[in-house]
Amino acid sequence: MSHPEIDNQTPFAFEPLFLADEEARPLLVLVIKATFTIHDKGPLTIAEEQVPVNLTGELWGEPDKSSYKYEPESAFIKPATDVALIGSAYAPAVGATDVNVVIRVGPIEKVVRIIGDRYWIKALGVISMTKAMEFERIPLIYERVFGGWNRSNPDPEKHTFEPRNPVGTGFMSSSGSFKDAVRLPNLEDPKFLIKNNFDIPPPAGVGFISPHWQPRASYAGTYDSVWQKQRMPLLPKDFNRRFFNAASPGLTAPGFLSGNESVILTNVTKNGRLSFNLPGVCPPDCRVQLRGRNDYKLKTQLDTVIINTDENLLFLLWRSNITLRTGPQDVVTIEILA
């Protein structure tokens, strides 16, 4: 099979993906990824090194025990723009035990309370939390958000977990005995602060959520006997494309961002406040020549914005797709237009 001729006229990374939709129709998916450098002052600049499209994703640690740092960038479509923040919270002053992190990107706004290390302890039969410790920097990762497992019951069948964040901390349940010195989360929703050991607040993350976590998993559809008899191996009839949106709750835009929105981040740098505008790059157009068919000009949508304040990088991902007749052999040329 011959490969299509590719002419990428942009300075950005590009990856053609050959996937299938819900009905197993073959697709050509076009993914363009731009890397920009974030500066303390002044506009963003195009990074000298353009990071390639990440098809497998990257975890913070061991599989099944850690969250995604970068999600796999292999969806065939996203219905709206995801925003993810990779970084750390910084204390506003020496001796601080809590601070609010604020993320504003265009119409999106999310506030997360950052609290120093605390633990559940039991004294004289009473369960209470220790006072928050002072901190200088706390990573903004789901491992420090409410969730995790309660494996205190000797019967493994009665082990329970938080389905919205199985890798988190602070989760307890009535099915097991109290385990001393359970670490409370460092990241909380300020509207639902934890007050007692059986509180079940919404996990307050700012990064990517895994496909098997809730609420994302609820969009994957129903895989029951009816699906096995009538649809398998196709996706279920009730599959919802919102499944491909992997941002934390509250960080998916109501539609697609245009790419020139203002960004304001509070307490994710040592300076306290970081502000800039998205670079205003026009979504790249693509021209695709298919064998035996007309040329097609495709418009892309900005569907992912990743802000990495630990490395001062911004990533923008645009995506589009076209249905093929048979598969990759249909594609003659692909142009990414500047």
pLDDT at 175: 62
The answer to whether position 22 is within a domain reads yes
Domain check: are 38 and 80 in the same one?
yes
pLDDT of res. 2: 66
In this structure, are 177 and 255 located in the same domain?
A: no
Both 147 and 237 in one domain: the answer is no
Q: What is the pLDDT of residue 237?
A: 95
Q: Which of 323, 309, 338 is nearest to 138 (CA)?
A: 309
The structure's pTM equals 0.94
**Within 13 A of 188's CA, how many CA atoms are on the CB side?**
22
Do 214 and 298 fall into the same domain?
A: yes
- Rounded to the nearest angstrom, the gap between the alpha carbon of residue 306 and the centroid of all alpha carbons in its chain is 8
> 332 and 217 in one domain?
yes
* pLDDT tens, residue by residue, 94-116: 999 999 999 999 999 999 999 99
Max alpha carbon distance in the chain (Å)? 80
Residues sharing a CB contact under 8 Å with residue 296, sequence separation 6 or more, in sequence order: 287, 288, 289, 290, 322
Q: 314, 308 in Cβ contact below 8 A?
A: yes
CA within 13 Å, CB half, 63: 2
- Tell me, yes or no, whether 221 and 78 share the same domain: yes
Whole-angstrom distance, CA of residue 211 vs CA of residue 214 = 8
In DSSP terms, which residues pair with 298 in a beta bridge? Answer: 286
Q: Taking Cα atoms as reference points, which of 111, 103, 97 lies closest to residue 189?
A: 111
Does residue 198 form part of some domain?
no
Give the other-Cβ count within 10 Å of 317's Cβ: 24
Which tens digit of pLDDT belongs to each residue from 205-216?
Answer: 999 999 999 999
Domain boundary pick from 153, 188, 223: 188
Looking at residue 177, its pLDDT comes to 65
The stretches in the chain having pLDDT less than 70 are 1-2, 173-178
First-to-final CA distance of the chain: 29
Q: What is the pLDDT of residue 47?
A: 97
Question: Which pLDDT value is given to residue 266?
Answer: 97
| Structure confidence by residue, pLDDT tens digits, 159-200 | 889 999 999 999 886 666 667 778 999 999 999 999 988 899
Residue 25 burial class via C-beta count within 10 angstroms: exposed 0-12, middle 13-18, buried 19 and up: exposed
Predicted confidence at residue 1, as pLDDT, reads 54
Is residue 196 domain-resident?
no
236 and 305 in a single domain? The answer is yes
Residue 176, pLDDT score: 60
291: alpha, beta or left, given left = phi > 0 and alpha = psi -120 to 50?
A: beta
Domain assignment of residue 199, yes or no: no
DSSP state of 210: -
Number of domains in the chain: 2
**Do the domain assignments include residue 184?**
yes
| 162 in the same domain as 305 | no
Task: Summarize the chain as % helix, strand, coil (round to 5).
Answer: 5, 40, 55
The whole-angstrom separation of Cα 324 and Cα 203 is: 40
Does 197 map to a domain? no
Which residue range(s) make up the domain with 226?
5-86+208-262+273-337
Spatial CB neighbours of 308, under 8 Å, sequence gap ≥ 6: 86, 87, 314, 315
Whole-angstrom Cα Rg for the chain: 22
The residue type found at 112 is: V
How far apart, in whole angstroms, are the C-alpha atoms of residue 292 and residue 48? 39
**Quick count: other Cβ atoms within 10 Å of Cβ 132?**
16
Domain boundary among 188, 221, 250: 188
Nearest to residue 206, comparing CAs of 247, 267, 148? 247
Geometric angle at alpha carbon 308, from 48 and 113, rounded to 5°: 165
Alpha helices of the chain — where are they, by DSSP H?
A: 225-230
Q: Are 187 and 204 a contacting pair, CB within 8 Å?
A: yes
